[in-house]
Amino acid sequence: MPGVATSRQPKGIGFALRDALPWKALSGIVRAAEPAGYGAVFLPEISGRDALVTLGMLAGETRDLFLGTGVVPMRSRTPLVAAMGAATVHERSGGRLILGLGTGDAGAGALDELRETVGRIRTLLDGETLELGDGPQGLSLPPGSPVPIWVSALGPRAMRLAGEIADGVILNWCPPERVPFARTRIAEGAESSGRDPASITVAVYVRAWVGGDEAEAMSSLRAMAGQYASYPAYRRQFEQVGLGPQAAVAAQAHRAGRSEDVPEVMVRAVCAVGDAARDRVEAFGQAGADLPIVYPVGTADAAASIEGTLVGLAPG
């Protein structure tokens, strides 16, 4: 199974872009981030642009930046369509794609389905065929080099699965102390499948803000933290990292439309804010993350605040 030994993967610091910015602003931010020292950009797929189409466009505006989906829900495309899109971006970018996949809101059996989906997509990207519909089908233009496939993971079962099947794992909404816990679970999964745990890149999203009006930024971060605390899977993770009581308050605040009641201590435990932001991002690397991913949270002027955060936390 492909890993670090057979496919290039990023190190250092990455960044993520969630906001549906106008193309001129989005592409300008990405172009500026590459010479600033960031090694990868990740695009979540929510309800804005198609992540793979966007990365294909950005491939022509960058040279060395890794281009990742972070993440695409596994049911949003058939394995064949996902593999076609991945192969297209990988070719256009000269082998810089990272295909990040997640379960989405899939319910019971989601991890088994993710295992199957990753296996089917990998088979196609490796130039082999699958029995699909009327007979065997494969890519008529497979990628010329291995495409790293990463998965998102919150709980220990997902982390072990990542160790078994993935080239990388993306952690989310957690403090630095979660990283060594994740690495242990990933290693358990890797070793059970005869894989080298060191071949699996561990990345972590870090919601971040650097700028002038910290109160405005905290308002945005509180709202986002409350929203995620209201999701059962994230609520369980907050409980596992010792933030259960704060997450319960945050979830209730979200449901009541009172994001100002989300505990600040919870936000600061999992985010990187203000003057302490750089040290906080570095703490994730010191805890064992191969790739901390700066995830700028936009305020009223989303493009300006995102750009300011990326400039403020640029690796150099």
Q: What is 48-112 written as a DSSP string?
A: SS-HHHHHHHHHTT-SS-EEEES-EETTSS-HHHHHHHHHHHHHHTTS-EEEEEE--S--TTHHH
Count of residues in the chain: 316
pLDDT of residue 7: 55
The CA distance from 54 to 49, in Å, is 7
Structure tokens at 308: 């300011």
Structure tokens at 179: 């990283």
- Contact of 241 with 174, CB cutoff 8 Å: yes
DSSP state for residue 293 in the 8-state scheme: E
| Closest among 232, 242, 241, 212 to 309, alpha carbons compared | 212
pLDDT of residue 48: 82
| Closest among 103, 104, 121, 122 to 113, alpha carbons compared | 103
Reported pTM = 0.95
CA angle 62, 66, 70 (to 5 degrees): 120
- The yes or no reply on domain 14-209+274-312 and CATH 1.10.238.10 is no
- Contact of 206 with 277, CB cutoff 8 Å: no
Quickly tell me which residue has 């193309």 as its tokens.
23
- Contact of 266 with 250, CB cutoff 8 Å: yes
Q: What is the mean pLDDT of each run of 10 residues along the chain (316 residues)?
A: 55 94 96 97 91 97 97 95 98 97 90 97 96 88 94 97 98 98 98 96 97 90 97 96 98 98 98 96 98 94 95 92
- Contact of 216 with 300, CB cutoff 8 Å: yes
- Contact of 45 with 71, CB cutoff 8 Å: yes
The CA distance from 130 to 136, in Å, is 5
- Contact of 14 with 310, CB cutoff 8 Å: no
**Please, is 156 exposed, middle or buried when counting C-beta atoms within 10 Å of its C-beta (0-12, 13-18, 19+)?**
middle
pLDDT of residue 6: 46
CA dihedral (313, 43, 303, 295) positive or negative: negative
The CA distance from 90 to 97, in Å, is 5
DSSP state for residue 241 in the 8-state scheme: T
